[in-house]
Amino acid sequence: MSDTPRIHLGSLLRASEDAHAEGELTELTYEQGGATQTLTFTEPAWYEVDINSLSNDEMYLQGQFSPTLVMECARCLRDVAVPLDLTLGTLMRYEPSADAPYLEEAESGEDVLVFGDPDLDLSAYLAETTVLAAPLSVLHAPDCKGLCQVCGHDLNEGPCEHMAQVPVEEIDDHLGVPEGSAHAKQNPFAALKDLDFPEE
Ligand SMILES: [Zn+2]
Ligand SMILES: [Zn+2]
């Protein structure tokens, strides 16, 4: 199971000793705007983090994180696996008064990870880095047909009675289509063959 990704920075802060942490994550839970968010991965995602002291309260984090993120297809909402390969590199600053760790933009424009607890929880940092690297939206296939706007049927699995391919005047005739005819067909055109077009 997934543990919280933590790195212990007590001896780094006391004696400038380098710190290292590694492990696997099947998900990342973090707080955002008062709500708990979860990123889910298709398989345990490896992370490795090294932190080196730069000065009394500044340090540099380097590492790797390779999650395969579960996202929703923007059209049909089914799960899509999005593999990411992240190279981590971030300045850090220890501020005992800081509550939860957060990213702050430095004058240089670089992000600085500010933290107050030497037992540093990397969840929010890894989650934010993952979200920034992930595409805004994905399709499970380039030609995803999406969901019917009327009934929510997944049109990749076949047509429903609302499909635009069925002329509007036919819709009423086919609302009573028997179970398992239109919806069971994988090929959207297979169902059209079964429609009883008026003889005249
Ligand atoms: Zn889709
Ligand atoms: Zn429909």
Which residues place a Cβ less than 5 A from the ion ligand 2?
Answer: 148, 150-151, 153, 160, 162
Report the percentage of the chain scoring pLDDT > 90: 68
Convert 136-151 to b/e letters by CB count within 10 Å (16 or more is b).
eebebeeebbebbeee
Q: Which pLDDT score is estimated for 34?
A: 85
The C-alpha atoms of residue 45 and residue 88 are separated, in whole angstroms, by: 14
User: Per-residue confidence at 32, pLDDT binned at 50, 70, 90?
Assistant: confident
Q: How far does the centroid of ligand 2 lie from the alpha carbon of residue 80, in Å?
A: 23
Q: What is the mean pLDDT of residues 37-46?
A: 95
**Residue 152: exposure state from Cβ atoms within 10 A (0-12, 13-18, ≥19):** exposed
What is this structure's pTM?
Answer: 0.74
Ligand nearest to the CA of 80: 1
Q: How far does the centroid of ligand 1 lie from the alpha carbon of residue 70, in Å?
A: 13
132-161 tens-digit pLDDT: 999 999 999 999 999 999 999 999 999 999
Question: Is the pLDDT reported for residue 30 higher than 60?
Answer: yes
Q: How far does the centroid of ligand 1 lie from the alpha carbon of residue 195, in Å?
A: 26
For the chain, the structural domain boundaries read: 6-133, 155-194
Q: How far does the centroid of ligand 1 lie from the alpha carbon of residue 176, in Å?
A: 27
Query: Is 137 in a helix, a strand, or coil?
Result: coil
63-83 tens-digit pLDDT: 999 999 999 999 999 999 999
Average model confidence (pLDDT) for the chain?
85
Report the percentage of the chain scoring pLDDT > 70: 80
Question: Is the pLDDT reported for residue 176 higher than 60?
Answer: no
78-111 tens-digit pLDDT: 999 999 999 999 999 999 999 889 999 988 888 9
Question: Is the pLDDT reported for residue 181 higher than 80?
Answer: no
Comparison of pLDDT for 197 and 111, the residue scoring more:
111
Give the pair of three-digit tokens for residue 83.
């593999």
H or E, element range at 123: helix 123-133
Ligand nearest to the CA of 137: 1
Sign for the pseudo-dihedral over CA of 38, 79, 48, 44: positive
Q: What is the mean pLDDT of residues 167-184?
A: 45
Give the pair of three-digit tokens for residue 197.
């077009």
Query: Is 189 in a helix, a strand, or coil?
Result: coil
Q: How far does the centroid of ligand 2 lie from the alpha carbon of residue 153, in Å?
A: 5
